[in-house]
């Protein structure tokens, strides 16, 4: 127990890279509005499952790459992701014992908070999005959370990521 073995980090990295790929994968335009915040969901999962390994720093870096991928202001998503990671790590004991649907609602709250932060930044630099459709990703992320959670738990158990 004393020596925390830091192995299988590549599994975490692989899931995050896959999430980045899904983030920019071409989708038909009507579906693109529903694109879930894949990196955010993966990040929240790892923060809940392994809070001692994945935390605010990794969250911030994941967000920074999302900024680059989406051509946004550097730091815009990074800030939101860091805040999400902080909340997830802080509350991981509580959230872990929630039933799945309740977890999904929590994830929705986290992602909404993140999107709110991003919206503030966008508003400040004059690119505000006044449309309600802006919030659709929060809903679709919550809807997909149960599958995401079971899938990633499967991955974690399969590769014994600790």
Binding site for other proteins (CB under 8 A): 17, 20-21, 24-27, 29, 32-33, 35, 56-57, 60, 64-65, 68-76, 78-79, 82-83, 121, 125-127, 129, 131, 134
What is the C-alpha to C-alpha distance for residues 111 and 84, in angstroms, rounded to an integer? 7
Nearer to other proteins, 46 or 149 (CB): 46
* Nearest residue to 129 (alpha-carbon basis) of 74, 79, 81, 72: 72
Nearer to other proteins, 48 or 79 (CB): 79
What is the C-alpha to C-alpha distance for residues 148 and 42, in angstroms, rounded to an integer? 8
Cβ 64 to other proteins shortest distance, Å = 7
How far is C-alpha 33 from the chain's CA centre? 17
Nearer to other proteins, 34 or 159 (CB): 34
Residue 126: partners with Cβ closer than 8 Å, 6 or more residues away? none
Query: If you search the block for the tokens 């309600």, which residue do you land on?
Result: 132
Cβ 50 to other proteins shortest distance, Å = 19
Cβ 43 to other proteins shortest distance, Å = 13
């Amino acid at each position: 127990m004393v020596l925390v073995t830091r192995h299988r980090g590549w599994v975490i990295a692989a899931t995050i890279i896959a999430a980045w790929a899904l983030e920019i994968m071409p989708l038909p335009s009507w579906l693109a509005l529903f694109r879930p915040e894949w990196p955010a969901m993966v990040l929240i999962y790892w923060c809940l499952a392994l809070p001692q390994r994945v935390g605010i720093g990794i969250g911030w870096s994941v967000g920074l790459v999302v900024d680059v991928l989406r051509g946004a202001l550097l730091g815009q998503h990074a800030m939101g992701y860091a805040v999400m990671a902080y909340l997830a790590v802080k509350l991981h004991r509580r959230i872990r014992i929630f039933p799945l649907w309740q977890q999904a609602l929590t994830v929705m709250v986290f992602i909404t908070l993140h999107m709110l932060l991003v919206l503030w930044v966008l508003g400040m630099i004059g690119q505000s999005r006044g449309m309600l459709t802006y919030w659709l990703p929060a809903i679709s992320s919550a809807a997909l959370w149960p599958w995401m959670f079971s899938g990633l738990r499967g991955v974690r158990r399969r590769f014994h990521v600790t």
